[in-house]
Chains A and B, each alone.
Chain A
Amino acid sequence: MSEQSAGTEIPVGPQHPSLKEPANFTLNVDGEVITGAEMKLSYNHRGIEQAVLSKSYIEAIYLLERICGICSHAHTSAFTQGVEELLDLEVPPRARYIRTLIGELERIHSHMLWLGVAGHEIGFDTLWQYAWRDREIVMDLLEEITGNRVHYSINTIGGVRQDLNDDYREAILDGMDDLEERIDFYRNTVPNEETVRMRCEGVGVVSEELAREYCAVGAVGRASGVPTDVRKDAPYAAYDDVDFDVITDDRGDLLARTVVRIEEIAQAIRIIRQVAERIPEGDLKASAKPPQALLAQVPEEDVVSRYEAPRGELVHYVRADGTDTPARVHIRVPTLANWPTVVESLKGSYIADTPIVVAGIDPCISCTSRIGVETDGSHGGENAFDLDELREYGIEWYDERGNVDRPSTEDDGRTVADGTEGERP
């Protein structure tokens, strides 16, 4: 796959300034340009898939919720919807609407958190502060409705645990109005700010063909022209009754991912308004029986439950063996599906782009650390430089500086963005 090209090998991480989570990248660098990249991520594998086997379905919800601090509702929804399918439970519409509402609120706060982190990675700290301040609108709403800013714990087997009364609906609609105003600001300024374009346009490009080959999911796939969205291709909760668009872009670079995520926030606002206005009356749980009674007759079957988490397609495979504890729970998180695209898009970028290219897929290491990943890239002969060689190399490289043309990486078999990849405007 990526043959070992000459050049320095620079380790970035696992404790490195750009990503506050343990992930290690070894970059093969030719001057300022990355020619090869490897990742090592399994630093705090927590063995959740083993732990969950000794928990009952009820307790498993709260364990799986804590796989990730940003997309906890995604994990509980995927898991409970899977178990509901096993038990053949018909979740009442009101509960499905509330589940959709919390899911979209979570998508907004996750995307805004990413917008801030991306701003920080390219040195645009003001965007970081604004994005995280505006995100508080959604976090406060979530805390009011569910009782907690992060782990909402609103899902239970067969429905939801909290209701949505009228003044919460008012608060949501007002919140969405303020938020929409802020999103319009981001929509108009961020992609058009020249310095953001200089750092994001044509950087970390993932072509559609590459995205399909590596089965990229979520905003990474959609920004490269692969229209995948579980809310449309396998509608769950209330996504049948609401209309929204799947946002796609075909540029496949970081700017495209930024635009796609901002537009997805706008779509989420649209969904939330429809849910808040049209939520039907009805009870919150499929059956009044207490959970342990429900779980007495779990069939010996398995289910593949998919959910569109903020970072992409999340899959919970649950196999039951009739007892009240699951026989096997396999979780494939969206970040794992997107990691290979990071390696491919790192090649040909500058060292300075590493943080933003890695942050481009909105990686969730805590999700991945439930399982870790290290992509291929052969451990070729170590041809690292020692310090003196590095100094010669640096000085020699900077002697003919000026307009640094990016070395052609055609031979690497990677489709390079045509035209102006070396010439930044």
Chain B
Amino acid sequence: MSFELDLATGLLALLVFPGFAFLFVYGLTAEYLDRKLYARLQNRVGPPPLQPLADFLKLLAKESAVPEGATARIYNAAPWTGLAGVFTAMLYIPVWSERAAFAFEGDLVVVLFLLSLPSFSLFFGGWYSGNVFSRIGTTRTITQLFGYEIPFFLAAFAPAVAAGTLSTSGIAAFVAANPWYVAVLLPAFGVALLSLQAKLERIPFDIPEAETELATGALVEYSGRKLALFRLTKDVELVVGAALLSALFLGGPAPAGVLAGTAGLAAGVVVFLAKTLAVIALLTVLKAVVARLRIEQMVDVFYRVLVPVALAQIALVLAVGLYTDGVIL
């Protein structure tokens, strides 16, 4: 294919479809659906559809001050790094077909790294905004990061071991090819769900910005445009996390592959939306039915319960692999 066409489709992918524009709209929609379902679960009315957009625009209009004690360069740069990481991660996750916009052997590791960028941007932003409460909030963010990152990687590697590839597209194709693997990978899916909930700092793991405790978390000194970007990062991270989970564990655009041509692509997108919304709904129900844990309980649960489950899952996948290859009967 000619270079110009490559560049055009690359830019199109980056700026429009699975990239910026789509994620911006889908991120805000996901936030609306999350807040609405959460409200309905609590017998509340919930926000109007355009509320997240209104919040975003309002924050853009507000003054974005830099606190005196802050280290300005890092304080200002923090929101952008998280957002950039999350947007680029989306490019490596299959959406309309089993192949993502860009795919290469090992892009699963890239996606996992890019998905942890927002937590680091939160840490740097909070630590360098010169406020003792945000510092305590950031130490909790990092403690929580140590808690959920290991189980998250282990859970993500389970399907990689099963599929024998480190490419999300390859994994999605493999699971699409043998759908019964979705059942095999269910424990890893559970671990990944809880880790994603912790990564997004949502109840029961919203300890770093627990509203009723010490004070708010790392973002206490942020306002205006920068705060809007941080909130957008969290919305998009929710969507990208759900997309990654549906690609790794639910077989990406599984049933859509049967249709050929553009109908298949369209069906792929519809299936993608359905699966990601299902994952987001699961996270919302989880958020509605439990209380917030303390930081040491969170770390305790992740290391004492989730890491063993993830390890057992990888053992199970290995056993199933050997069994299907006929090595053991």
B215 within 8 A of A: yes
Binds B, one of A78-86, A124-132, A365-373: A124-132
Select which of A122, A133, A350, A401 is within 8 A of B291 by beta carbon. Answer: A122
- Distance between A201 CB and nearest chain B CB, rounded to angstroms: 11
| A389-420 interface (Cβ within 8 A of B) | 390-391, 394-395, 398, 401-404
A22 within 8 A of B: no
Cβ–Cβ < 8 Å partners of B9 in chain A: none
- Distance between A226 CB and nearest chain B CB, rounded to angstroms: 28
Quick one: given A17-B213, A125-B42, are A398 and B291 in contact (CB under 8 Å)? no
B55 within 8 A of A: no
Cβ–Cβ < 8 Å partners of A126 in chain B: 41-42, 288-289
Q: Do A123 and B43 touch (CB < 8 A)? A: no
- Distance between A93 CB and nearest chain B CB, rounded to angstroms: 41
B296 within 8 A of A: yes
Cβ–Cβ < 8 Å partners of A401 in chain B: 143, 146, 296, 299
| A1-45 interface (Cβ within 8 A of B) | 10, 12, 16-18, 32
Select which of A119, A123, A398, A403 is within 8 A of B300 by beta carbon. Answer: A403
- Distance between B267 CB and nearest chain A CB, rounded to angstroms: 36
B161 within 8 A of A: no
Select which of B136, B214, B216, B291 is within 8 A of A199 by beta carbon. Answer: B291
Cβ–Cβ < 8 Å partners of B294 in chain A: 32, 198-199, 350, 352-353, 424
Q: Do B300 and A424 touch (CB < 8 A)? A: yes
Q: Do A198 and B213 touch (CB < 8 A)? A: no
For the residues of A in contact with B, the DSSP-based class is helix
Select which of A32, A121, A390 is within 8 A of B212 by beta carbon. Answer: A121
Distance in angstroms between the alpha carbons of A354 and B210 in the assembled complex: 12
Cβ–Cβ < 8 Å partners of B303 in chain A: 402
Distance in angstroms between the alpha carbons of A32 and B214 in the assembled complex: 11
Interface size class of A (residues with CB under 8 A): 35 or more
Q: Do B135 and A390 touch (CB < 8 A)? A: yes
Cβ–Cβ < 8 Å partners of A12 in chain B: 214
Distance in angstroms between the alpha carbons of A403 and B294 in the assembled complex: 12
Q: Do A123 and B299 touch (CB < 8 A)? A: no
Can you list, as one digit per residue, whether each of B294-305 has a CB less than 8 Å from chain A (1) or not (0)? 111101100100
Q: Do A404 and B42 touch (CB < 8 A)? A: no
B252 within 8 A of A: no
Q: Do A120 and B139 touch (CB < 8 A)? A: no
Cβ–Cβ < 8 Å partners of A351 in chain B: 213-214
Cβ contacts A to B, 6 pairs, < 8 Å: A16-B215, A195-B292, A352-B295, A390-B132, A394-B135, A401-B143
